[in-house]
Amino acid sequence: MGELPSVCIIGAGVSGLTACKALEDAGVPHTCFEASDEVGGNWYFQNPNGVSSAYRSLHIDISKPSISFRDFPMPERYPDYPHHTHIFEWLRDYADAFGVRERIRFNTRVTQAERGEHGGWLITLADGSREAFDALLVCNGHHWDPRRPDFPGSFDGPEIHSHDYIDPSDPLDLHGKRVLVVGIGNSAVDIVSELARKTVSDTVFLSTRSGAYVIPKYIFGKPADQVVKTNPRIPVGLQRRMGRILPRIFSGRMEDFGLPTPNHRFLDAHPTVSSELLGRLGAGDAVAKGDVEELLGDRVRFTDGSVEAIDAIIYATGYNVSFPFFDPDFLSAPENVLPLYKRMLKPGIDDLAFIGLGQPIPTIFPFSELQAKLAARWLSGDWAPPEHAAMEAEIKRDEAFHTGHFTNKPRHTMQLEWYGFQHELLTRSIPAGQARARGGAGTGLAAAGRAAGPADVALAV
């Protein structure tokens, strides 16, 4: 076998760490560039790279067994729903346990990634230096570029995104204030629940356009994701139909708490997990509203015609999928749409893969780990994707299966049902790709020799 390709990894969060570990296991040479001074990405509270979105009280809304990596389970001493400090500690322990730090260059931001005419990558760093690689793994995450709505009118008070929220005093002092939180995802309901305590804000308003089904963290005394999970051996459509009764059993009617009727069926949008929100709404500490119709200086008008005095607004309205190191004409994700083969490979670019660029239900951790292991097989020559036309056809089938039933909004462009995804990859796509690699079929970066060495890249740009 010839020389294995040299690989650049951008980011040392969850996806970058699993990529480093998988490539190290496969003997694939790689360098990981991380803008921060430590691993952990979003789970590094107040990360000096400026893009972490963890707030002080953040607990993950998926339980410990679901989060755990197959190669590195969470410690038994951790609670069912770990705090961000637990996850950060665990990711650092993962890096140390598998010796991946040696391949990570900290405090090193990638400012540009350019693909050569015949393949290969030229990576420009913040200090102006350049380095060449044969392949690129993008692990920069998709919860760091805040997305904000554009409401008519203007607001006189402070406005922040949930990305910038730390606690009731930072970056805004919200004590005794009338606060509007826009959105009904997990960050939104966490922030509403925290601010709605009478010891904090005066009144908290929760504005949602589409509504949501709020499910508790515990069902029958067990973490919800351990009780309600899909079975890849049972038709997913049947499981969805059977599951539609669950919100009524666990939480009742959303309308009884003042929330608008969800504009979708249960599991046709990402569910919201909270054991506190409905209690805050029921106690009157938080007040549910529909969509914002207009900003009126120190007030806000909602679509039901009501007008409320508001002191501050927090937009918990999601994130853009973006790649600041790519020329947008080369590759971008308008409205968060970027179809990929197995949420990893872009047909026609045979030396590039994305790790963790999906929104799996229930969680991203094992998803990134499995994708990283598949990338290592691909880069070491043990797996090959299909020809481009076959990849395109399978992308359409996968997107219809995983996202076809979801509401059409940027939050749901990358949804996937994890257990079905994992089962399909392990039982069909990986064995088929290994057979292609052994037979010399398929497409992708050949392990028998470099597709385009560093010299080729330098000449091409």
**Strand runs (DSSP E) across 252-337, as ranges?**
272-273, 286-289, 292-297, 299-302, 307-309, 312-315, 319-320
Please compute the mean of the pLDDT values over residues 40-54 and round it to a whole number: 94
**148: which 2 tokens?**
């904000």
State the sign of the Cα–Cα–Cα–Cα dihedral 401, 323, 345, 11: negative
Residues near 404 by beta carbon (within 8 Å), at least 6 away in sequence: none
Nearest to 267 by CA among 91, 402, 175, 124: 402
Q: CATH number, domain at 235?
A: 3.50.50.60
Give how far Cα 178 sits from Cα of 10, 138, 202, 205, 310, Å: 41, 41, 5, 8, 5
Q: Is 123 left (phi over 0), alpha (psi -120 to 50) or beta?
A: beta
Are the beta carbons of 386 and 436 closer than 8 angstroms? yes
pLDDT of residue 233: 73
Residue 409's pLDDT band, with cuts at 50, 70 and 90, is low
pLDDT of residue 405: 54
Nearest to 155 by CA among 202, 207, 211, 192: 207
* 256 plus 238 within the same structural domain: yes
Residue 16's pLDDT band, with cuts at 50, 70 and 90, is very high
* 170 plus 128 within the same structural domain: no
Report pLDDT digits (tens) over 272-289. Answer: 999 999 999 999 999 999
Quote the domain boundaries for residue 230.
Answer: 148-315
Are the beta carbons of 162 and 171 closer than 8 angstroms? no
pLDDT for residue 413 is more than 80? no
pLDDT for residue 453 is more than 50? no
Range in 228-232, 294-298, 431-435 with the lowest mean pLDDT: 228-232
CA separation for the pair 13, 91 (Å, rounded)? 8
Say which residue, 368 or 445, is predicted with more confidence.
368
Within its chain, how far is the Cα of 156 from the centroid? 32
* 384 plus 355 within the same structural domain: yes
pLDDT for residue 142 is more than 80? yes
Query: Is 2 a member of any domain?
Result: no
* 103 plus 153 within the same structural domain: no
pLDDT for residue 407 is more than 80? no
Please compute the mean of the pLDDT values over residues 170-188 and round it to a whole number: 97
Residues near 360 by beta carbon (within 8 Å), at least 6 away in sequence: 367, 415, 416, 417, 418, 421
Report pLDDT digits (tens) over 188-215. Answer: 999 999 999 989 999 999 999 988 899 9
CA separation for the pair 312, 370 (Å, rounded)? 42
Query: Is 290 a member of any domain?
Result: yes
Residue 440's pLDDT band, with cuts at 50, 70 and 90, is confident
Query: Is 29 a member of any domain?
Result: yes
Within its chain, how far is the Cα of 301 from the centroid? 32
Query: Is 48 a member of any domain?
Result: yes
Nearest to 136 by CA among 118, 117, 115: 115
* 152 plus 140 within the same structural domain: no
Query: How many percent of the chain have pLDDT more than 70?
Result: 92
pLDDT of residue 408: 57
Query: Is 1 a member of any domain?
Result: no
Query: Is 181 a member of any domain?
Result: yes
pLDDT for residue 404 is more than 60? no
Residues near 111 by beta carbon (within 8 Å), at least 6 away in sequence: 124, 125, 126, 324, 325
Domain boundary among 315, 335, 356: 315
Please compute the mean of the pLDDT values over residues 419-425 and round it to a whole number: 91
pLDDT of residue 444: 55
Residue 450's pLDDT band, with cuts at 50, 70 and 90, is very low
Report pLDDT digits (tens) over 214-243. Answer: 999 999 899 988 887 766 777 767 767 767
pLDDT for residue 83 is more than 90? yes
Range in 2-11, 89-98, 258-267 with the lowest mean pLDDT: 258-267
Nearest to 144 by CA among 60, 50, 15: 50
Residue 2's pLDDT band, with cuts at 50, 70 and 90, is low
**342: which 2 tokens?**
């197995």
Please compute the mean of the pLDDT values over residues 431-440 and round it to a whole number: 93
* 295 plus 325 within the same structural domain: no
pLDDT for residue 134 is more than 80? yes
pLDDT for residue 270 is more than 80? no
pTM: 0.91
* 180 plus 137 within the same structural domain: no
* 290 plus 397 within the same structural domain: no
pLDDT of residue 265: 79
CA separation for the pair 126, 111 (Å, rounded)? 6
Instruction: Find the DSSP H helices in 268-334.
Output: 277-282
Residue 410's pLDDT band, with cuts at 50, 70 and 90, is low
* 200 plus 298 within the same structural domain: yes
* 180 plus 269 within the same structural domain: yes
Please compute the mean of the pLDDT values over residues 61-77 and round it to a whole number: 96
Query: Is 113 a member of any domain?
Result: yes
pLDDT for residue 443 is more than 80? no
pLDDT for residue 102 is more than 60? yes
Domain boundary among 284, 315, 346: 315
> What DSSP assignment string belongs to 387-408?
-HHHHHHHHHHHHHHHHTTS-S
Domain count across the chain: 2
pLDDT of residue 451: 40
CA separation for the pair 94, 87 (Å, rounded)? 10
State in Å, rounded, how far the first CA of the chain is from the last one: 29
pLDDT of residue 442: 65
Average per-residue pLDDT in the chain? 90
pLDDT for residue 406 is more than 60? no
Let me know if 45 is exposed, middle or buried by CB neighbors in 10 A (0-12, 13-18, 19+). Answer: middle
Report pLDDT digits (tens) over 312-365. Answer: 999 999 999 999 999 999 999 999 999 999 999 999 999 999 999 998 888 899
DSSP 212: -
Query: Is 412 a member of any domain?
Result: yes
Say which residue, 392 or 410, is predicted with more confidence.
392
For residue 421, how many other CB atoms are within 10 A of its CB?
23
In this structure, the chain runs to a length of: 461
**180: which 2 tokens?**
């509007």
Range in 33-42, 97-106, 138-147, 450-459 with the lowest mean pLDDT: 450-459
* 254 plus 349 within the same structural domain: no
Domain boundary among 293, 315, 337: 315
Residue 1's pLDDT band, with cuts at 50, 70 and 90, is very low
* 175 plus 279 within the same structural domain: yes
**What values do phi and psi take at 132, rounded to 5?**
-110, 145
Strands 319-320 and 145-146, sheet pairing: antiparallel
pLDDT of residue 234: 72
